[in-house]
Structure 1
Amino acid sequence: MAEYEMQESNLPNEDGKRVLFPRMRLWGQADLDKIVDKISYASSFTPGDIKGLVKALADEMACQMASGRSVKIDGIGVFSPSLALRDGYERESGEPGAPKRNAMSIWLNNVNFRADKELIENTGRRCILERSKWKFRHSSQVFSPQERLKMAQDFLCSNPFMRVADYCRLTGLLSDKAARELKQWSEEPESGIGCKGRGSHKIYVKR
């Protein structure tokens, strides 16, 4: 059973009135160990077998994407490498005679994911929703700052970096407040969170 709540959009509708949209309440994150335990219990595979296969799959996906290919896993989705300029380099203007960026100024900063229709449909078939008993509140009131910090720390333990959008999904914060709070965490060494990049390319990493 999953719960949803109606959350207010950042932008009003054409009449200037507030718009509410359904949002699933997330109660944490299932890590690899949890998924491995579930699969192992329901099959003849050992946890070591499953973890080894996942690691081999992740390594081969990285090799394929590093060679300039997207990776399609039937039933899961398509993974595509994404590039960005390194810090300190300006974008090409395209004007005649203007400086051009070479490979040293570009890095692979992300992997984009597009879910397979089968995964979406499979999730939808299993999803039974009920309205949350919590009365709608702004997301910043649902979790305390320390609870949100712990969420970010846990996320970075199993992911190489975090974007503002990731933090929004984890905590329910709106993007402006999420960006400000992540910036605050990155400026406090004891938080264990640092940052790289700038502007729309800024990411947050484990110190």
Structure 2
Amino acid sequence: MANYVIKEMPTGMGNGSEGKAFPKMQVYTEFDYNKVVELIHAYSPAFSQATVRGVLDTLTVVMKSYLPMGHTMKIDNLGVFSLSLEFVDNEADSTNPQATQVLASKKKYHHVRVKGVNFKVDKKLVDDINQENTFERTTGNPTSPSPYSLEERMQRALNHISKHGFITLQEYANLNGLSYSTASRELAKLVLDPHSGIKAKGAGSHKVWVSR
């Protein structure tokens, strides 16, 4: 289950005079490079973490080499990558005859550089996410305490385990409005509590929590 919060545009923006409400994804943590590698390996154990790192590192090298040459890159079920450009303030060297002619006609000649990398998501990825997830409104935010008490968080986890057989660290964090690190510490304490009804199973990226 994923969580979202309701945000509102300032008055005067949107279609009406009143602020327009819209849903915004509740983000609890940002996975760094090492965590992404760990998760990919967990989903596909046949690929070692070293292999995953090699592929990701090579992908960035290939992008840096070919995107500036006017190519876009499409990864099926993910999306298309392309460059966006911007002008910089420097004018052309006036010693260049062609640039001098342009300046003489009172037209500024700009240098151009990369502004960023555009990403257009593959529609199939969006459709798959919608089919596999439901979204629940929450009033919490990443820096605020969970809206649920410890007892409620524990019971919500047990209900999830009863339905799915286990709960992952990320699922516990999302379910209870906690950051990834806070959820990890809390689960460690619950495992040590013989009355919690929760125990850990597995290790590393394969670690999950089940009922006692």
Indicate the TM-score class for this superposition, using the shorter chain for normalisation. 0.5 to 0.7
Matching residue's letter, 1:99: K
* Distance in 2 of aligned mates of 1:64 and 1:31: 25
Larger radius of gyration: 2
CA RMSD of aligned residues (A): 2.8
Aligned positions, number: 133
TM-score by length of 2: 0.54
Match of 2:67 in 1: 65
Aligned-residue identity in percent: 27
* Greater relative contact order, per chain length (Cα 8 Å cut-off, separation 6+): 2
Letter in 1 for 2:34: D
Please give the alpha-carbon distance, in whole angstroms, between the structure 1 residues aligned to 2:103 and 2:132. 53
> Is the counterpart of residue 99 in structure 1 residue 107 in structure 2?
yes
Residue 53 of structure 1 and its aligned partner are, at CA, apart by 0.4
Q: Taking structure 1 as reference, are residues 17 and 55 closer, same or farther at Cα in structure 2, changes over 3 Å only? A: same
Shift in CA distance, 46/107, structure 1 to aligned 2, threshold 3 Å: same
Q: Structure 1 residues 35 and 125 mapped into 2: Cα distance closer, same or farther (>3 Å)?
A: farther
> For residues 140-159 of structure 1, what are the structure 2 equivalents within 5 Å?
143=143
TM-superposed CA distance for 1:8, in Å, is: 0.7
Give the match for residue 110 of structure 1. 116
Pairing 1:129–2:135 present: yes
**Structure 2 residue runs without a partner (length 5+):** 93-101, 145-212
Query: What SS does the aligned partner of 1:3 have?
Result: strand
Q: CA deviation at 1:78?
A: 0.9
Q: Hey, what does 2:46 align to over in structure 1?
A: 44
Normalising to structure 1: TM-score of the pair? 0.56
User: Residue 2 and residue 89 in structure 1: after superposition, are their counterparts in 2 closer, same or farther (change >3 A)?
Assistant: farther
Question: Which residue identity does 2:9 align to in structure 1?
Answer: S
Change in CA separation of 1:15 and 1:32 when aligned onto 2, cut-off 3 Å: closer
* Structure 1 residues not aligned, in runs of 5+: 145-207
Distance 1:34 1:101, change over 3 A: same
Describe the shift of the 1:32–1:127 C-alpha distance in structure 2 as closer, same or farther (beyond 3 A). farther
Q: Name the aligned partner's letter for residue 57 of structure 1.
A: L
* Structure 1 residue matching 2:19: 3-state secondary structure: coil
Q: What does residue range 1-207 of structure 1 map to in structure 2 within 5 Å?
A: 1-12=1-12, 15-42=16-43, 43-89=45-91, 97-101=105-109, 105-134=111-140, 143=143
The alpha-carbon deviation at position 72 of structure 1 amounts to 1.1
CA distance in 1, matches of 2:103, 2:90: 20
* Equivalent position SS for 1:40: helix
Q: Residue type matched to 1:83 in 2?
A: L
